[in-house]
A and B are shown apart, each in its own frame.
Chain A
Amino acid sequence: MTVAELAAGLRAGSYSSEELTRHYLDRIARFDAVLNSFITVVPERALEQARNADRRLKRGEAGPLTGIPIAHKDIFCTRGLKTSCGSRMLDDFVAPYDATVVSKMDQAGLVVLGKTNMDEFAMGSSNENSWYGPVRNPWDTALVPGGSSGGSAAAVAAGLCAAATGTDTGGSIRQPAALCGLTGLKPTYGRVSRYGMVAFASSLDQAGVLTHSAEDAAAMLQVMAGFDLRDSTSADEPVPDYSVGLAGSLEGLKIGLPKEYFGEGLDGAIAHSIRQAIDEFRSLGATLVEISLPNTALAIPTYYVVAPAECSSNLARYDGVRFGYRCEAPQDLEDLYQRSRSEALGSEVKRRILIGTYALSAGYYDAYYLKAQQIRRLISEDFRQAFAQVDVIMGPTTPSTAFAIGEKAKDPVTMYLSDIYTIAVNLAGLPGMSIPVAPVSGRPVGLQIVGNYFREAQLLNVAHRLQQATGWHLKHPGDYWA
C-alpha cells in the first residue's frame, strides 16, 4: 500500500500505527534474511515511536505522515543507533546526533523501523559493495537491486517499509528505484539538508526518497525539504506545498527528449517501454521536443574525477584515531593509519580514494580536477539551454534492467556506465525522478524525468499524472505481495 493509503487508514482508525509497525516488523523478520535490505532493525524503538504516534493521532495532533513506518538509509546519522554507511569502518559507530532529515522525520511523527543496507559510503550501483553483504532484488533475488540506496529500494519494493530515505550522488536513488520498480526522487541540490548525512561527494550528494508513488514522494519531500542553518549549501528557498499541484493538467507541457539518451548502448526493449510512456504523456496533452545535451558523453569521466576527488578528502577522517575501526596493536602512527584504512575500507572505496588523490595532486590538478570543473559547467549549460525550450526532460533512467549479482562486480567501468543517464543531473544539481513504466521480461524499467532547479512540484505533477493514467507504479514483485 502507498503511504497515502496507509495514512488514510491510520486517520480512519482502521489500524493503529503500532499495528502497522508490527506488520512491517513481521515482514522484515520473514523476508529480510534473504533480501538483506536492513543493516539494523530496531523493533522496540519503532514500537515506542508508533505508540507516540498513536497518541498524537488520537489527540488530533498528527501531521499527514504521523505513524507511517519507514526506514532510513544507513548513511543518515541517527542518535543512539549504529550508522555504518555500509562500511566496516563504521561498524561500531553509534552516532551521537541526528541528521536534519532524521530529526525532521521524527518531528513529523514517522516511525523508523531501522537502517537500510547500501553500497559502502554510497559508492556503487549494485549494492554489492556493502560490508554487510549484497542486497537482493525482490523481483528476482538473483538480481541486484541497484545502488547505492539498494537496501532502501529492496525494502520498499518488498513491502518491508512504507517508504524509505535514500541519497543520490550520481543516481543512487533513481537507479535502484528503476531496478526495483519504484518512484525515486532526487531533489535539487540544496533542497534537502545534508547535515548528518555521511558525505561521499559533497557537491553532488543529495537526500531524497524511494516510494511507491509520486504522491508519496511529494508527502515525504514535504517533510524533508527546507533550508538548514547547519548546511551552508542548503537552499534558502521557500518550500511549496507539493501536494496541491499533483493532479494539475499536463496540457501544453513541453517534454524534451535528448537524442543522446536514446542512442547507442540503450537496450531496445527499454527504449520501447520509455516510448510507450512518452506516448502516454502525449495523450495527456504534452508536446514532445527533440533536444540535444551535447556533453552527455563527458558526464561519466567528469563525475569520476569530481566525486573521487571530494571523496578522497571526505573520507580522510576515517583514520582510526577518534572513532570507527582501529587496527589491532598499531606499531606507530603510520601503521595505525595504513592498517586501519586498509583493513576497514572496501576495494571500490579505496579505488575512488586513490583516483581522487591522484586527481588533486600537484601537477595533475589542472589537467583533472580543474578540467572536470570546467566540463561540469558545460554540462550545466547544456541543461540551461534545454530548459529554455522545454519544461521537463525525459529518457530512460538506466541503459538496462537489473543485472545478476556478480555480473558486473569485476568490471568497474561497466558498472559505472549503468549511471550514464543519471550522473549529469547531479553534476548540474538538477532535480530528477525515476518512475516505473512497463516492465521488460518481468523486470522493472524506470523513466527518468528531469526538471529545472527547484521545480520538484512540476516533476511530481508529471509523474503523478502518468501514474494515475497507467497504474504501472502499482506493479509489485509477486512473491512479496501475494
Chain B
Amino acid sequence: MQWETVIGLEIHAQLATKSKIFSGAPTAYGAAPNTQACAVDLGLPGVLPVLNAEVVVMGVRFGAAIGAIPQGRSVFARKNYFYPDLPKGYQISQYELPIVGKGSVEIVLDDGTTKRVGVTRAHLEEDAGKSLHEDFHGLTGIDLNRAGTPLLEIVSEPDMRSAREAVAYARKIHQIVRYIGICDGNMQEGSFRVDANVSIRPPGGELGTRAELKNINSFRFLERAINFEVERQVDILEAGGSVVQETRLYDADRDETRAMRSKEEANDYRYFPDPDLLPVELDAKFVADVVAGLPELPDDRRQRFSSVFSLNAEDAALLTSSRELADYYEAVVGVSGDARLAANWVMGDLAGALNRDGLEITDAPVAPAQLGGMLKRISDGTLSGKLAKQVFDAMWSGAGSADEVILSRGLTQITDIDAIARQVDEVLAANQSQVAAFREADDKKRAKMLGFFVGQVMKATAGKADPKQVNRLLREKL
C-alpha cells in the first residue's frame, strides 16, 4: 500500500539576548548550576516579570523575514502545569495572540524545484530549567540557569511530505534566524531545538494520528528520526493496528524513537492571559524601524549572488548558507575583483582548511582582505596555483598579507624563459641515462617519464618555475 507522509515542525529558537525574557539575569550558556537565576527566575513569592524589549524586536525581525510583519497586539498567557524545573508552576508563553502570525518560507527540494512551507505562527515564551538526574543518587537536581531564557517557538503547517523536506525547512529556518541575528543556531547547546509531528495517510486522505518526536539535536538526526518513525507507523497500520498520539523521544545511539512515559491523561494547561504583564501593542513606527534595520535575507542574497557574480545556483546557495560566509565571500570579491576565483578559493582551500582545523568562518585566521590580496596576485600572474597554496598556508599560520609572504619568501613565479631554460639544461645534463631511456621509449611511456624531469626542474627552482614553460622547454630539448 502507498502511504503519504505528513510532517509539521515546532522549532524552539533561543533568542540571542544578553538577559532573560522577564528578568535581568544573564543568559550565557554553561555557567555553574543556579548561578544565573535571580529571584524572578526562581519564582520567589512576590516577584513580577518585566518584558525584555529586545525579544519583541527579535520577534518582529522574524515575522518580517517570513512575510508576516507583526502588527497590533500580542498577549502573554500562562500555561499552567507542575514540573520541578518550572519554578512558578506555569510557563509564560503566548497563546491566543502570538507576536507573529501566518507566514511562509521557500525551500529547495532535492530535484532543484522549490516549495513553499507555511509557518502557522511564532510566539515568544520563557524556557524552563533543567532537571539533572545524574550525580544525585536517587534524587533529582534542578538547575534554573536556563529558566526564563527567551524562546521563539516557530510552528509550521503540516506541509512537508518527507524527511528531506523537513530537513530543508528546518535548515531554512535555521539560516533565517542566524541571518537576522536573533539566534546563534547552536543545536548541541540547545539553542535551536526541533520537534517533529509525524503522521502518515493514504495519499490525499484524511490526516492520520501523529506522533511528536523530541530530543533531536542535529539535522541528520531529524532525517533519521522521521524516517524511522514513518517506517514504524507504516508497519503498525499495515499490520492492522492504529497509531497512538504520543510524544516519542529519538535515541540517536539506537537510531529509533521510543514512547515517553505515558501520561495518564491529556494535560489541560488552563491558559489565561498573564495579569502581571500588559498586552504588547506594536507601534507602526517601531515595526517600520525594525523592518528597515533587517539585513538582506538569504534568498535575496542568493539570487543577487547568482546574477551579480554569475555563480551557478549551487554555489550561490552554498556561499549564502550563512550570513558570515556570504559576508566573507563578498569581502574577498571586493578586494580581488574576480568572483569566480574567489568562489573557488572560499569553497575550496578556505573551506578545507576551516574544516581541517575545526574552525568557523568567523574564526578564520586568514581575513577576507588577505585572501583577496592573494587572489589579485594570481590574477596578475605573480603566483601560480601551486605557489598560491604555499602563500595561503603561510597566511593561515599568521604570516601577514600575501604580498608580505611573497616578498619575504621570494615566492614570485619564475617566468623568465632563459632562467628556466638554464635549469632544464642542468637537469638533463645531470640525468643522462634517463634522457637516453626517454628517447628510446614510446609516446605512452614518454608522457610518464616527462613528469620525472618536470619534477626535477621544479625541485631545483623551489617550485617557483612556471610549470607550463617547464613542460614546453623539456619537450623541445628532449
Q: Please report A residues at the B interface, Cβ cutoff 8 Å.
A: 76-77, 83, 85, 90, 93, 95-97, 99, 194-199, 201-203, 229-233, 309-310, 312-313, 315-317, 319, 321-323, 333, 337, 357, 360-362, 365, 369
Contact = CB atoms under 8 A, between A and B. Distances in A.
B277 interface: yes
Contacts of A369: 272
A194 B89 contact: no
A319 B82 contact: yes
B43 A317 contact: yes
Interface residues of B, number: 28
B276 A362 contact: no
A203 to B, nearest CB: 4
Contacts of B275: 201-203, 233, 310
B278 A319 contact: no
Q: Which of A85, A312, A319 has the most CB of B within 10 A?
A: A319
Q: Which of A201, A230, A361 has the most CB of B within 10 A?
A: A230
A229 B88 contact: no
Contacts of B271: 360
Nearest to B269: A362
Nearest to B45: A198
A202 B46 contact: no
Contacts of A362: 268, 270
B48 A232 contact: yes
A358 to B, nearest CB: 10
A317 B89 CA distance: 5
B120 interface: no
A133 to B, nearest CB: 21
Contacts of A321: 84, 87, 142
A199 B46 contact: yes
A361 B268 contact: yes
A232 B278 contact: yes
B236 interface: no
A107 to B, nearest CB: 18
Contacts of A230: 48, 50
A199 B277 CA distance: 14
A97 B272 contact: no
Given A194-B48, A195-B46, A232-B48, A313 B87 contact: no
B42 interface: yes
Contacts of B84: 319, 321, 333
Given A313-B89, A316-B88, A360 B80 contact: yes
B318 interface: no
B39 interface: yes
List the 9 closest pairs (A to B, CB-CB), nearest first. A316-B89, A360-B270, A202-B275, A203-B275, A196-B46, A198-B45, A317-B43, A77-B46, A362-B268
Nearest to B80: A313
B50 A322 contact: no
Given A316-B80, A316-B82, A195 B90 contact: no
B260 interface: no
Given A230-B50, A316-B88, A90 B45 contact: yes
Contacts of A90: 45
A197 B50 contact: no
Contact of B277 (A232, A312, A316, A319): A232
Contact of A361 (B43, B45, B270, B276): B270
Contacts of B272: 309, 313, 360, 365, 369
Given A90-B45, A313-B78, A319-B89, 6 more contacts: A77-B44, A77-B45, A99-B46, A198-B45, A199-B276, A317-B88
8 contacts: A95-B44, A97-B44, A194-B46, A195-B46, A199-B46, A233-B275, A312-B80, A317-B88
Interface in B223-277: 268, 270-272, 275-277
B132 interface: no
B92 to A, nearest CB: 11
A169 to B, nearest CB: 12
Contacts of A197: 46
B12 to A, nearest CB: 23
B46 A322 contact: no
B159 to A, nearest CB: 28
Contact of B44 (A231, A310, A323, A357): A323
Interface in B145-203: none
B207 interface: no
B147 to A, nearest CB: 11
A313 B270 contact: yes
Given A313-B80, A313-B90, A313-B272, A83 B45 contact: yes
A232 B50 contact: yes
A360 B77 CA distance: 12
A201 B49 CA distance: 15
Q: Which of A197, A201, A362 has the most CB of B within 10 A?
A: A362
B51 interface: yes
A366 to B, nearest CB: 12
A85 B45 contact: yes
A317 B87 contact: yes
A357 B270 contact: yes
B399 interface: no
B238 to A, nearest CB: 35
Contact of B45 (A95, A229, A232): A95
Interface in B9-62: 39, 42-51
A96 B43 CA distance: 12
Contact of A232 (B47, B49, B82, B88): B49
Nearest to A324: B45
A78 to B, nearest CB: 10
Contacts of B90: 313, 316
B89 A232 contact: no
A319 to B, nearest CB: 6
Nearest to A85: B45
A194 B268 CA distance: 29
Contacts of B78: 313
A96 B51 contact: no
B75 to A, nearest CB: 13
Given A313-B78, A322-B142, A361-B270, A231 B43 contact: no
Nearest to B51: A232
B50 A317 contact: no
Given A96-B39, A361-B270, A232 B276 contact: yes
